[in-house]
């Protein structure tokens, strides 16, 4: 599983509350990504990181922020959750220290915003 | 930006038959095309990928073909088995750098015994 975990795995929250999802990797991958998966849309990139403190937007970044203060952790924050952010969130990693170009996905976090 | 269309959205085949899933992309700069398989409740897993310097790649019962001129690529699964039942996603990106994958909408493949 490429040493990638996500927490929490499931979360139910209310509209307007802040939510932070965590992605943790153990193999020193340079790139980390956050995707959301919704029926009929496949997976869509929210934000990605190419190093500590280096992040950039993806195609559906509105309403989300990210931070990467350590190589191993990439956090996704919903400042004020909305029902449209109910989704399954996947983290992905790429380019370990030994090289390689494939993206490997974490187990996912199912978020429900009521 | 890149746009990836995937067809069909659902596909049902008899065990032992072949299955073909097709994707088209819009950005001629894209040169990396991975395919992911996702079983129910699980994470997407990379099953095969192809780069634009080759037209076909095979791995046992799975093959992917790429037509750069027409901007389409396809996944072929031969001798299908029940464990091939899953949702399959194609994606496209420019390899290296940020490698921001743009995914198709997915194909739910059902193998009937």
- Classified as helix, coil or strand, A9 is coil
Supply B4's token pair: 């990836």
Given this model, what pLDDT does residue B64 score?
98
B89 to chain A: which residues are within 8 Å by CB? 42-43
Given this model, what pLDDT does residue A98 score?
63
φ/ψ bin of A16: left (φ > 0), alpha (ψ from -120 to 50), beta (otherwise): left
pLDDT band at B96 (very low <50, low <70, confident <90, very high): confident
Among the partner residues A31, A42, A48, nearest to B104 by beta-carbon distance: A42
**Alpha carbons B58 and B49: distance in angstroms, whole number:** 10
* B99 in contact with A, Cβ within 8 Å: yes
Contact A56 B104 (CB under 8 A): no
Given this model, what pLDDT does residue A41 score?
83
* B53 in contact with A, Cβ within 8 Å: no
- pLDDT tens-digit series, residues B26-82: 999 999 999 999 999 999 999 999 998 889 999 999 999 999 999 999 999 999 999
**Alpha carbons B57 and B33: distance in angstroms, whole number:** 11
Given this model, what pLDDT does residue A39 score?
87
DSSP letters spanning B58-73: EETTEEEEEETTTTEE
List, for chain A, all residue ranges whose pLDDT scores fall below the cut of 50.
Answer: none
* B102 in contact with A, Cβ within 8 Å: yes
Burial of A70 (0-12, 13-18, 19+ CB in 10 A): exposed
Given this model, what pLDDT does residue A2 score?
65
Q: Are A45 and A34 in contact (CB under 8 A)?
A: yes
Contact B100 A48 (CB under 8 A): yes
Q: Are A96 and A29 in contact (CB under 8 A)?
A: yes
């Amino acid at each position: 599983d490429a040493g990638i975990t996500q927490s929490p795995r499931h979360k139910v929250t209310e509209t307007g509350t802040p939510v932070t999802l965590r992605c943790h990797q153990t193999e020193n991958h340079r790139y980390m990504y956050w995707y959301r998966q919704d029926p009929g849309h496949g997976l869509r990139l929210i934000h990605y990181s190419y190093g500590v403190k280096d992040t950039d937007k993806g195609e559906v970044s509105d309403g989300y922020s990210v931070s990467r203060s350590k190589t191993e952790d990439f956090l996704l924050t919903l400042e004020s959750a909305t029902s449209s952010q109910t989704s399954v969130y996947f983290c992905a990693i790429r380019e370990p220290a030994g090289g390689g170009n494939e993206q490997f996905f974490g187990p996912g976090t199912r978020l429900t915003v009521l | 930006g890149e746009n990836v269309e995937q067809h069909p959205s659902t596909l049902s085949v008899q065990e032992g038959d072949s299955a073909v899933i097709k994707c088209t992309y819009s950005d001629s700069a894209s040169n990396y095309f991975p395919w992911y398989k996702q079983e129910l409740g699980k994470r997407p897993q990379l099953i095969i990928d192809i780069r634009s310097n080759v037209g076909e790649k095979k791995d046992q019962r799975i093959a992917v073909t790429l037509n750069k001129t027409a901007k389409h690529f396809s996944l072929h699964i031969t001798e299908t088995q029940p464990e091939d039942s899953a949702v399959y996603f194609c994606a496209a990106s420019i390899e290296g750098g940020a490698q921001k994958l743009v995914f198709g909408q997915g194909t739910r493949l059902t193998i009937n015994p």
